[in-house]
Amino acid sequence: MTANRVVLLLLSGLVATGSAVAGSAATANQAIVMTERGPIKGAATPTVRKFLGIPYAAPPVADLRWRPPQAHTRWLTPIDATKFRNHCPQGASVFGMASVSEDCLFLNVFTPNEEPAERENSISHRHPVMVWIHGGALVVGESDDYRPTKLVELGGVIVVTINYRLGALGFLAHPALSAESSDHISGNYGIMDQQFALEWVRRNIVAFRGDPDNVTIFGESAGGLSVFSNFASPTAAGLFDRAIVESGAYSLALPALADAESQGAAFAAAIGCSSQSASCLRSKSVRKILAKQGDIDISPNVDGKVLPQSLDTAFATGQFNHVPLMQGTNHDEWRFFVALDFDLSGGPITAEEYPLVVESMVGPDAAPLVLAQYPLSNYASPDLAVGTLGTDSIFSCPARAADQVLSAQVPTFAYEFNDINAPEVFLAPVSFPYGATHASELRYLFKLTWRGQLDAQQQELSTNMVRYWAQFANSGDPNSLGTPLWPLYDPAVDEFQSLVPPSPMGEFEFATDHQCDFWAKLFAAASSGVLPPRNKRTWGQTISSHPNPH
C-alpha cells in the first residue's frame, strides 16, 4: 500500500469519526478542520472562526463548463482558508466586482469560537447551520461581501456563504447541451451548484460542530428566488430543513426548457457558434460570453428534473419540499431600480415620461388601468410613483400571494421590512428618498463591505432581526424570549410582522397599502393578453451595467 493511499485512508477515518475528532483537532489548533477532501486551515478571532475559500466542487472549466458540478480532487496538505477566493464570472456592478475566473465554486464557513470545554461537548451540542445564497439577478454578486458576524456571535449559528455559477455560464440552456446530458436537460447549473454546496454541508459540517440535520437556506433577491427554486426542487429534498426568502417572489412563473433552449440557440449564434455545437460553446472566452449574455433572460427553467414544474405551479399543487418558511419584502423595493434606470442613468423621470415608463412596464393594454390606479397627482414625483407601482406589482403582492398559498401547507412567517430611513449601502444619493428599498434589510443582518451605518434604534432592530433569523434556523419558529411576538401567517387575518425600528410589531394593512386586489385582478387578465410587469432582462441588464461602488 502506497504512502498516499495510507494518508487518504487516515483522512477518511478522521472525517468518519465526526465532531469528536474535529473537536480534539480544534483543541490543538482551533483553526484547523478536516473535511472529506482534506484539511483546511482557517483563522480565528476571540468570537468567530473563519474558513474562507473552501472548494466544494471541481472547477467548472474546459469540458466541465455547462455540466453539473463534480467532486473536487482530494488534497493532503492543509489548504490556506484565511482569505476569500475567486468569485464567479461577471461584469463590474453594484452587487459585485468584475471576474473572469470560472474556478469559482468556493464557500466560506463562519462558526462560533467556543471555549475548550464547549468544544469538548460538541458531540451533544451542535449548532444550527444557515447557508446564504447571495443576490444579484443571477448575473452578478459574490459570497465575499456578506460577513455574518452578528448572526454567529449573537445567534449562535454557523453561517455558510456560497458562490454559484452566474449568467449564461450558470443558466444557459441549449439543445446541444441537453443532448449530451443523460437527463436531456440543460441550464439550471447555478441551482445545481447550490444543491452541491448543500450536499457538502450535509457531509462536512459536523467537523465544524454544526448540525447536518438542522440546515436553513436563506437568500435575498435572486438568492431568494434561488431559495424558492430549491424549495420546489425534488433534487434538493433532504438537503435543508427550513427556508428564508427575502425579496425573492418576483418571478415564480419560470420558462419551459424548450423556450430557454431557443434563446440559447440565438445566444450561440451571437457568440460565433453557427455550428450550434457544445464544443464551440466551450471554446469561447469568458469575456465574449459575458459581453453577449445580456441578450437572453437569465433564469432557472422547467427542465423536468431539477425543476419539474414552474414555482407557482409547484406551490399551488403542494409538490415542493415541505419545511417551515419565513418570507418577506421591503416596503419600497422598486425605488432601487428606479434609481438605477433613471436618476443614475441620465436623470429623474419627468411627468411627460411617466405614461411611457408605465407602458414599458405593463404593456399598452394594462397601462391605462395602472395610470388610473397610480395617478401622478398622488405622488411627490414620477420617480416615486414608478417606485410604488413597481414595488406593489413585482415584489409585495406576489410575495403575499405565495404566503397565502404556502401557509396552508407549511408553517409560514411573513414580514415587511419598514425602516424608511435605512441607509442605502449600494447606490449614490438620488432625487428621492430610497426608503426601505431593495436589499436595504441586508445591513441589519450582515456586516457588509459597502457603506452604511445604523443609529441606536436601527441597531436595536438589527438585534431583533438577527435573533428572529437565528431562532427560526434553530427551531422553525422565530419567536424567543426577548423579541416581540411574531405570529404565524394566517390569510384570514393577513398580519405581517413589520420590521420597524426599534421594535417590530404587527401590521394589518399590507394588502391595502400595496393595492394587492387591483394587481390580483390585473394578473388574472394575463391569459387575455394583459401582461404583468416582469421585465427580468431589463432588470438583469440594469444591475450588471452599473459600475461597482466599492
At the topology level, CATH places domain 324-501+514-533 in Rossmann fold (3.40.50)
What is the pLDDT, as a whole number, of residue 524?
A: 83
What is the pLDDT, as a whole number, of residue 526?
A: 58
Name the grid cell of 9. 485512508
What is the pLDDT, as a whole number, of residue 31?
A: 80
CB count within 10 Å of CB 480 equals: 14
Q: Which residues are catalytic?
A: 221, 333, 438
> Per-residue pLDDT tens for 338-381?
999 999 999 999 999 999 999 999 999 999 999 999 999 999 99
The HSE-up count of residue 160 (CA atoms within 13 Å, CB side) is 33
Q: In what order do the strands lie in the sheet with 158-162?
A: 43-44, 48-55, 106-112, 158-162, 127-133, 210-220, 242-246, 325-330, 412-417, 496-499, 505-507
What is the pLDDT, as a whole number, of residue 444?
A: 97
What is the pLDDT, as a whole number, of residue 505?
A: 98
| Residues of the chain with confidence (pLDDT) below 70 | 1-30, 115-124, 450-451, 526-550
Superfamily (CATH) of domain 3-234+243-295 = Alpha/Beta hydrolase fold, catalytic domain (3.40.50.1820)
What is the pLDDT, as a whole number, of residue 114?
A: 81
CA-to-CA separations, 517 to 244, 335, 523, in angstroms, rounded: 25, 22, 10
- Measured between alpha carbons, how far is 257 from 308 in angstroms, rounded to an integer? 10
What is the pLDDT, as a whole number, of residue 7?
A: 36
Matching CATH topology for 3-234+243-295 and 324-501+514-533? yes
What is the pLDDT, as a whole number, of residue 523?
A: 86
CA-to-CA separations, 23 to 113, 122, 203, 460, in angstroms, rounded: 12, 7, 16, 34
Among 246, 234, 145, 143, smallest CA distance to 191 is for: 234
Average model confidence (pLDDT) across the chain: 90
Domain coordinates of the chain in residue numbers? Answer: 3-234+243-295, 324-501+514-533
